[in-house]
Structure 1
Amino acid sequence: MKPNAFVLNRHLFPAKVGAVSAVLFLAACAVGPDYKAPSASLSQHYDQQAEQRLGVAGNPPGEQHIDLGKKLNGDWWSAFHSPKLDQLVRRAIDGNLELVAADATLRQAASSVAAAEGALYPQVGFGAQAGRQRVHVAADPSVANFYTVGPQVDFDLDAFGGNKRRVEQQEAFADLQKHRYEAAYLTLTGDVASQALLLASANAQMEAVEKLLANDARNLELVRMAHLNGSTTQIDVSLAETRLAQDRTLLPPLAQQRDSARHALSILAGKGPADWIAPDFALAEFVLPANVPVSLPSEMAHDRPDILQAEADLHMASAAVGVATANLYPHVSLSASLAQAASGNGGAALWGFAAGLAGPIFDGGTLRAERQAAVDGYKASFAGYQQTVIKSFGQVADTLQAINHDAQENQAQQDALGAAETSLRLNQQAYAQGENSILQVLEAERAYEQALLGQIRVKTAQYLDTVRLFVALGGNSVGVLEQKVASR
């Protein structure tokens, strides 16, 4: 008696379902750790003394202060209210070659992700072969032509998720490249603003030094005339000559600072110094931001590209552990082929289907050692991430204290300038009344010019430290790539 086909199918159906379910389960499995982003920092302060000193409540009116817990909106360099700086930064962003290289590297990483994802799908190929052969099996040996042609499909079930972890690793690498672009953007904008301020500072200091030299020259001329009249000695003449010669040494370094800043701006804009000259700047064109937003440490960790780079590197290390873990387990693959074959005057269609299983039995401990190396690499990346976060907090704390000390130095310099200005006014009045000599007036003028030169340097330090603070806080650079793509 023949078995009933329905009864056979009914008994085979659970087995088929179980087999298919097992394959789907294995295909969805991915061994190794699932990545979790590090928890945010619990710290709420960078430097409490500096924060208190620069806070709205603790800072004297008219001085720079910070708003702790407030995030920066828009382009950070616009806080200096310089249209010329805005135009220069935009030109540098469009022409900077490091940004071009970073963008190309990011596209390369995106292509690597797509290449890794290809392993998750069936690999379909095509093969063909033709030749001539001699057959000895027949009673009469014969020579005949033969050929085979047809497609072949191979599919790695990725039972333990090794390919998925490789895709995850490449995606993390693409994130790393994206944040490198953001870091290059942040560095570029910070360098452009700093060099523009150094150029403006050099121009202002050179103007003050030239006035100082003109005063020294007048002083020397008066001393020489007094010496001819017998009212002064040769020592006084020598002192006046020495002062003029010493003050002349101030100009070349300032001229070098000016020229270096111009050259740097050309290079940042992607041009040679002889091919494009940056516009000139004056300190009066900039406005020192009175209110600087400072995000909390827990928020700043998501606003700095270098921290996000370290996090992407940590993600890559986590995925590497998954890849190394998957290598400890068997690989399951399926393959199928369909070919049209012919030999002599006969031909036939050939097909095949096969499943393969390959796994390690003894490898001398290589695979386990590789997994342990990946685990240790993750630990190293995690420590590196933590160190990056801590260093970033230190950089913000340093710049906050620098701004705090700049304010103190600026106040002292203002007092010195005020005293020099008062001394000059009194000496001018005394000279008008015949109570002192012109030399005393010139000395007072010289002291005033030197105080003015010191004030320019302090003001420059305030501007530069404010730039460093914006950069240390991340400068709103995270997400600029998406904004660039959206604007196209």
Structure 2
Amino acid sequence: MHEIPCPPAHFDPDRRLIRLHRRAGFHPAQTHSGRSLYFPAERVEPQPDRILGKQVESEWETVFSYPPLSALIHRALEDNYDLTAARETLAQAEEAVKAQQGSLMPQGAMNALAGRQKYGVALFGPSNFVIPPFSYYEVGPSLSWSPDFFGGGKRSVERQQALATYQHRQLDALYVELTANVVAQSVLIAAMKAEIGTVQRMVNADEKTLRLIQSSYRSGMATQADILDARNRLAVDSGLLPPLKQQYSSNLHTLSVLVGKAPADWQPPALVFDDLKIPASLPVALPSALLRKRPDILAAEASLQVASASLGVATANQYPALTLTANMFQEALTPSNLFLGAGNAWALAGGVSMPLFDGGMLEAAKQGAFHAYQASLAEYHQTVVQAFSQVADALTALANDADAVRAMKSVVDTGQSALDLSIKSRAAGNTSDLEIETAHRTLAQTQLKLEEALAQQYLDVTRLFVALGGSPLSQNPH
């Protein structure tokens, strides 16, 4: 077993962080509280259509600029039960800090005692002296204090404060998750509604095409195979509607839960997919700003502080403990004589308790706390690495989404132009109604693909904002 070279009240995890982080290629930066965080020593190169170094917008509605979405977010922040529970858990943790701080102060109490007693003959040795049974009464204050010479009490307070900070960051994380889920479900609801409308237009075109082919068949201009092919297209396109409607209903139910309502008791505001817009330039924070902002990284730092304080407490437990007590009381054999001057009594005492042999229990506890600290440090590193991975994934997805949306918009524009030409050609007698309906269906198919691509782009914008830390409660009045 190896010793940990640090005094209990002054164990500083930052020193170990500096050594370990520098070996890992990290460099320090100061947080708003003055403590150190460590980030990979790399920079993000500027990319087209992005604003680097700009802080992420503090409100989701600023990104999408859509009032119904803003109303849903505020409704969820007011009525979501998970958020309410998290707030109460944080309040509980803050009260626990006050309780732990109070344990460092002298403790006073008022005591009262009444009893009846009889001493045995052995009390006075070899004599026949006998004291008859008697009643007694005592009342008075007492005071006790355990000076924190070796820092165990202060580290206990520090641990409780770190636990409260952890709960605060968990509340921030829940806020980000909740608002992101509201945005995602709203996007999906609007997208499903738009896609259902587009598929319905495809079905309408299929039905009209089938009627035209059946009419052509009766006049000898089409075959039975043409009718079967038209019926097959109608069946395939009609089969797209049930899963879309089911997904739409499921998203509605999920959103109702997020805003704290039962599905039967609540209807969302009208969400129009075409009204959702995102900025042409997406704000992206630099790594240092990212690491200060993400609640999970701040929570990992708080967990590291908890482990550090626990190590200090375990080390302090190996040192002597001093206790000071003072008592003053009035005592008498009858209640009427309780406050006579002759009944006044007092006592002062000081005690020291020092562990000498405990079977290695305290040393094992200290070593266990040290390993817990090392585990928390590794988890902190892992959280930082995952943060960069999530941001990289989101940025890559957005780049691919932009390409997909651009390509599908081009296809839709081409399909619309083809339909316009077909309509003009029909006016000149060069295009049949069947060709017009085919062009309508083809355009609806490409519009469906565009709606799917746009929905994915909006969802990936949401992913990016979550990866960048979203809008924690510490920066939001709600």
Same fold, TM-score > 0.5, yes or no: yes
Structure 2 matches for 1:454-469, cutoff 5 A? 454-469=449-464
Q: Matched residues in 2 for 1:285 and 1:418: separation?
A: 19
Asked if structure 1 preserves the Cα contact closer than 8 Å seen for 2:171 and 2:473, the reply is: no
CA contact (8 A) 2:97 2:157 kept: yes
Percent of aligned pairs with the same amino acid: 39
Partner of 1:172: 162
Q: What SS does structure 1 have at the residue aligned with 2:357?
A: coil
Residue 15 (structure 1) aligns with: none
Q: Which residue does the alignment assign to 2:29?
A: none
CA–CA distance in structure 1, aligned partners of residues 453 and 144 of structure 2: 70
SS at 1:317's partner residue?
helix
Counterpart of 2:54?
A: 70
Q: Which amino acid aligns with 2:306?
A: M
What TM-score do you get using the length of structure 2 for normalisation? 0.88
CA distance in 2, matches of 1:140, 1:321: 57
Letter in 2 for 1:90: H
2:132 is aligned with 1:127 = no
Equivalent of residue 472 in structure 1, options 461, 464, 467: 467
CA–CA distance in structure 1, aligned partners of residues 437 and 193 of structure 2: 24
For 1:296-335, list aligned pairs within 5 A: 296-335=286-325
Q: Which of 9, 16, 19 does residue 31 from structure 1 map onto?
A: 9
Q: What CA deviation, in whole Å up to 9, does each residue of 1:50-94 have, x standing for no partner?
A: x52xx2xxxxxxxxx321111134313222111111111111100
Task: Name the counterpart of 1:149.
Answer: 139
CA contact (8 A) 2:80 2:258 kept: yes
For the residue of structure 1 that corresponds to 2:472, the secondary structure is coil
Are residue 203 (structure 1) and residue 193 (structure 2) matched?
A: yes
Within 5 Å, give how 1:11-26 maps onto structure 2.
none
How many Å separate the matches in 1 of 2:38 and 2:404?
Answer: 36
Matched to 2:281, the amino acid is N
Question: 2:214 maps to which residue?
Answer: 224
SS in 2 for 1:451: helix
Q: Partner residue of 1:261?
A: 251
User: How far apart are residue 141 of structure 1 and its match?
Assistant: 4.2
What's the CA shift for 1:266?
1.1
The offset of 1:440, in angstroms, is: 2.1
- Aligned-pair CA distance for 1:32: 5.0
Match in the other structure for 1:440:
435
Q: Which residue number in structure 1 is paired with residue 30 of structure 2?
A: none
- Cα distance in 2 between the residues matched to 1:317 and 1:139: 62
Shift of 1:468: 1.5
Are the equivalent residues in 1 in contact too, given 2:58–2:475 (CA < 8 A)? no
Distance (Å, rounded) in 1 between the aligned partners of 2:225 and 2:173: 59
After superposition, where does 1:265-284 map in structure 2 within 5 Å? Answer: 265-284=255-274
Give the drift of 1:35.
4.5
Closer/same/farther in 2, CA of residues 141 and 113 from structure 1, 3 Å limit: closer
Gaps of 5+ in 2: 1-6, 15-34
What TM-score results when the alignment is normalised by the length of structure 1?
Answer: 0.86
CA shift digits 1:256-301 (9 cap, x unpaired):
2221221122111111001111112011222221122211111111
1:77 and 1:193 in contact (8 A); partners too: no
Q: 1:154 to 1:217 in 2, by over 3 A?
A: same
Secondary structure in structure 2 of the residue aligned to 1:70: coil
Q: CA deviation at 1:30?
A: 5.2
In structure 2, what residue type is equivalent to 1:274? A
In the TM superposition, what is the alpha-carbon distance from 1:358 to its structure 2 partner?
A: 0.6
CA distance in 2, matches of 1:151, 1:337: 6
Q: Deviations over 1:127-152 (max 9, x none)?
A: 22222334666967444321222111
Q: Secondary structure at the match of 1:301?
A: helix
Between the two proteins, the alignment pairs up a number of residues equal to 441
RMSD of Structure 2 on Structure 1 (CA) = 2.0
Report the equivalent of 1:294.
284
User: Whole-Å Cα distance in 1 between the matches of residues 206 and 212 of structure 2?
Assistant: 10
Q: Distance in 1 between matches of 2:362 and 2:36?
A: 28
Query: Which letter does structure 2 place at the counterpart of 1:343?
Result: L
Correspondence for 1:357 among 352, 355, 359: 352
The amino acid of 1:281's aligned partner reads L
Say if 1:395 and 1:472, in contact at 8 Å, map to a contact too: yes
More displaced, 272-281 or 253-262?
A: 253-262
Query: Unpaired segments of 5 or more residues in structure 1?
Result: 1-28, 56-64
Residues 1:114 and 2:98 aligned together: yes
The Cα shift of 1:234 comes to 0.6
Q: Which residue of 2 aligns with 1:421?
A: 416
Measure, in 2, the Cα distance between the counterparts of 1:81 and 1:343.
82
| 3-state secondary structure, aligned to 2:134 | strand
Residue 169 of structure 1: how far off its partner (Å)? 0.3
Distance 1:252 1:367 in 2: 65
Q: Secondary structure at the match of 1:33?
A: coil
Paired residues of 1:431 and 1:438 also in contact (CA < 8 A):
yes
Name the SS of the counterpart of 2:292 in structure 1.
Answer: coil
Secondary structure of 1:109's partner? helix
Report Cα offsets for 1:429-477 as digits up to 9, x if no partner.
Answer: 3333333433222222211111111111111122111122122111221
Counterpart position of 1:249: 239
The one-letter code matched in structure 1 to 2:66 is S
Residues 165 and 320 in structure 1, CA contact (< 8 A), matched pair in contact too: yes
